[in-house]
Amino acid sequence: MMSIASYFAHASALKIASDYIFFYPLAMTHVWLVGALFFYFKWERKQVAVPILAAHPPISILLPCHNEGENLHETISALLRQEYPAFEIIAINDGSTDNTGELLDELSRRHPRLRVVHLAANQGKAMGLCAGALLSSNEFVVCIDGDALLDVHACTWMMSHLAAPHVGAVTGNPRIRNRSTLLGRIQVGEFSSIVGIIKRAQRIYGRLFSVSGVVTAFRKRALWEVNFWTPDMITEDVDVTWKLQRAGWEIRFEPNAKCWILMPETVAGLWRQRVRWAQGGSEVFLRNFDIFLHWRQRHMWLVFCELTASLLWVYTTAAVVLITAILFLSGHADALPQSHFVSAGNTFFILILCSLVQFSVGLFLDSRYESHLWKTYLWIIWYPFLYWIMIACATFVGFPKALLKKRGQRALWTSPDRGFKP
């Protein structure tokens, strides 16, 4: 039998852990909502249709490609329609094994704005971006993925921010193209109600966790200062975000810079993507662990604490679930305080309600960029049940992968699941 002292110690520890599991996401939901609404009222509410720039410095659009034969015609056609007067397209064929190289050469003969670089072997997206940036003679580069469709005014919107000399990068607003399945529809709501809200809030609070690798504009001088993208980081976009901000550059979010992307629509594909993202975030956590030793980088401390708290939340959740299961299976369920289940049920219900409010705000904010967005509300309500579990499990797997990964091991391309094209 468990002694009275050990029982109360166990119950107290379990209650603290359970409170953290439920109240941490609840608190962050309020932080993100407040920040996003401030962003809306400060910058978004009265924006003009398209900004009029005082100058149009030439830009290079970098298009790293690995086995993108099915998407190149659409992607490059969208890029050529950019309503920006001075731009070139540099496509980097990174060791593709399909017909990507041949298609790029054919398209370059038809379109003078397109230049093509061929890498003999798969070097990874970071190396492809580095090659394209170094071969560009322009000070500003816009990076997109090989399956993305860039909105015609996206470059103009991002360049309106880069006119400020202290701005090192501007990240755009990814929109989901494929939404024929439940997973696709949930992700439409996710990018509006989760990703969009968080980026707005982080912009208000001063620092972003990550730019969107699928659509971001950079000042090349800023990239040069931080030695461009890091080849051994599995999420090069998260890494370069932290490097730029640690170097003192400001990064902004521009929701008008839309880019239509393909996302996984199978459970297996989504799982691989989220494990990769979790591993990438964990690699950044481990690589920047020294940030508290540098007083001049105190502006990044809160972002690092948020990342730490999210990792702690995942493992605390896993520990509580495991302990509860063990006690049940071993016939010691009476060791669990009854208030543990009552509190968990009540708090979970409140968390679901707050999430639904967050989804409503996110869809409201992004409805000006995409019509009929409210139709996804019926699907996004499944997000807490499906995605929270998957993201927690992906982080649980991704952190050890980052911990065990050998430093300097290059992050190479893999062909992702891009769902079912519309």
Q: Give a three-class secondary structure readout of the chain.
A: CCCHHHHHHHHHHHHHHHHHHHHHHHHHHHHHHHHHHHHHHHHHCCCCCCCCCCCCCCEEEEEEECCCCCCHHHHHHHHHCCCCCCEEEEEEEECCCCCHHHHHHHHHHHCCCEEEEEECCCCCHHHHHHHHHHHCCCCEEEEECCCCEECCCHHHHHHHHHCCCCEEEEEEEEEECCCCCHHHHHHHHHHHHHHHHHHHHHHHHCCCCCCCCCEEEEEHHHHHHCCCCCCCCCCHHHHHHHHHHHCCCEEEEEEEEEEEECCCCCHHHHHHHHHHHHHHHHHHHHHCHHHHHCHHHHHHHHHHHHHHHHHHHHHHHHHHHHHHHHHHHCCCHHHCCHHHHHHHHHHHHHHHHHHHHHHHHHHHHHCCCCCCHHHHHHHHCCHHHHHHHHHHHHHHHHHHHHHHCCCCCCCCCCCCCCCCCC
Cβ(382)–Cβ(189) below 8 Å: no
Tokens of 243: 């490097």
SS3 state at 364: helix
Helix ranges (DSSP H) in 180-337? 182-190, 197-205, 220-225, 236-246, 267-287, 301-329
User: With contact defined as beta carbons under 8 Å apart, do 262 and 184 qualify?
Assistant: no
The sign of the CA dihedral 308, 171, 236, 182 is: positive
Question: How far is Cα 418 from Cα 69, in angstroms, rounded to an integer?
Answer: 13
**CA-to-CA distance for 45 and 47, rounded, in angstroms?**
6
At residue 62, the pLDDT reads 97
Sign of the CA dihedral running 130, 131, 135, 141: negative
Q: What pLDDT, on the 0 to 100 scale, is given for residue 332?
A: 62
Which residues lie below 8 Å from residue 136, measured CB to CB, with a gap of 6+? 60, 62, 88, 90, 220
H-helix or E-strand spanning residue 210: none
Q: Name residue, tokens 């990792």.
A: 311
Count of CB atoms situated within 10 Å of the CB of 160: 19
Q: Global pTM?
A: 0.90
Q: What is the pLDDT along the chain (422 residues), one digit of tens a residue?
A: 445 445 444 557 777 887 788 888 888 888 999 999 999 999 998 877 888 899 999 999 999 998 888 889 999 999 999 999 999 999 999 988 889 999 999 999 999 999 999 998 888 899 999 999 999 989 999 999 988 999 999 999 999 999 999 999 999 999 988 877 777 777 777 787 788 899 999 999 889 999 998 999 999 999 999 999 999 999 999 999 999 999 999 999 999 999 999 888 888 888 888 899 999 999 999 999 999 998 888 889 999 999 999 999 999 988 888 877 776 777 665 655 555 554 555 666 777 788 788 888 888 888 888 877 777 777 676 666 666 778 888 998 999 999 888 887 777 766 665 655 55
421's tokens: 């094209």
CA separation for the pair 59, 155 (Å, rounded): 9
Whether 261 contacts 415, CB under 8 Å: no
Q: Give dist(CA 50, CA 268) in Å, integer.
A: 40
Question: Which tokens is 376 given?
Answer: 């996804």
**How far is the C-alpha of 130 from the C-alpha of 228, rounded, in Å?**
6
